[in-house]
Amino acid sequence: MELFEEVEVEAYVYPTEDIEKVKKAMLNLIPDLEFEAFEKEEYTVLTGKTRSRKALSRLYELFRGQAILDTARSFLEEGYFGEEIIIRVNKQAAYAGVVNFNEESPLGPITIIIRSKDPKKLMKWLAPRTRDGVPIE
């Protein structure tokens, strides 16, 4: 069984921002996205979707490399609704190639929506519980 069916990423792109830089920020977290942009009055809604099996590999690596498994787990659990997990991350940090769950920014967050038939199994793989920083699940 696959851990997830689809990953969707969304961000608002304001006139002061470069849409290519926002795409790069999104791709730094989730590879293989196919993008669509929708013009609104004051901003553009940029969405990317993927069903690639390696879509969550970068988040997996970042959570471990940044030693934020426990923090990531708590945000995944907080954003867990039925067959979706929704997390929001800082756009500027994502552009720099890191995950920061502090979404407070005048430019708004990047929203990541993971659709899964078994979200608990997905969370256990992506951000397992730890003891002294070592995964225990």
pLDDT in tens, 71-117: 999 999 999 999 999 999 999 999 999 999 976 778 899 999 999 99
Give me the CATH code for the 6-128 domain, please: 3.30.1440.10
Binning pLDDT at 50, 70 and 90, where does residue 68 land?
Answer: very high
Q: Give the pLDDT confidence score for residue 1 in this predicted structure.
A: 53
Percent of the chain with pLDDT over 90: 86
Q: Give the residue extent of every domain in the chain.
A: 6-128
Where would I find the beta strands (DSSP E) of 59-132? 80-81, 84-90, 109-115, 130-131
Q: Where are the beta strands (DSSP E) in the chain?
A: 6-13, 34-39, 44-50, 80-81, 84-90, 109-115, 130-131, 134-135
The residue among 114, 124, 125 whose CA lies nearest residue 50 is 114
State the average pLDDT over residues 109-126. 95
SS3 85: strand
**pTM score, two decimals?**
0.94
